[in-house]
Amino acid sequence: MASGNINVSDVEETLARIKSHKGVEGVVIMTKEGAIIQSSLSEEDSKEYAALISSLTEKASSLVDTLDADDELNFLRVRSKKKEIMVAPEGSFVLVVIQNPNATID
C-alpha cells in the first residue's frame, strides 16, 4: 500500500470486496494500539476483537524480532475450529478480517 495515493473510494472498494467473500464475518481496521477506525462488527464485538488481536499482533511482532532482528511481521493467521482471523499490520494500522473457514466449501 503506497502511502499518499490512496483515496477513500479505493479503501471502500477493497473493504467491499473483502466483505463480499463467502464466509467473511467481519472486517476491522484499527490502529496498532487497538483503537477502532472502521468495523463491520457491532461495537462490543469490535472492541473485544481489537483488544485481543492488537496484543496478539504485538506479541507476534516481537517474536519475529527475537527470531531475526532484520525481519518484520507481514501477516498473521490464527485458525481455530470455528473461525479464521487474518491480521495484516501495515505501519501504524492493522487490518483484521474474520472469516468462517468452513463456509468456503460448497
Partner 1 sequence: VCLNLENQERVLTIRCPTTNNNRLFAQEEIVSMSAIEDTLERIKGQQGVEGYVICNREGSVLRRMASMSQGTAEKYARHMNEMATKARHVTRDLDPEDDLQNLRIRTKTKEVILSHSAEFIIIVIQKWTPYS
Question: Stretches 4-12, 21-29, 31-39, 71-79: which one binds partner 1 (CB under 8 A)?
Answer: 71-79
Per CB under 8 A, does 48 bind partner 1? yes
C-alpha cell at position 33: 494500539
Nearest to partner 1 of 8, 69 (CB atom): 69
Beta strand 84-90 with 36-39: parallel, antiparallel or unpaired? unpaired
Q: Which is nearer to partner 1, 9 or 79 (CB)?
A: 79
Burial 53-76 (b: 16+ CB within 10 A, else e): bbeebbebeeebeeeeeeeebeeb
In the complex, the smallest distance separating the C-beta of residue 11 from partner 1, rounded to whole angstroms, is: 21
How many chain residues touch partner 1 (CB under 8 A)? 26
What does residue 80 show for φ and ψ, rounded to 5 degrees?
A: -120, -175
CB 64 within 8 A of CB 71: yes
* Contact residues: partner 1, CB under 8 A: 48-49, 52-53, 55-56, 59-60, 63-64, 66-68, 71-83
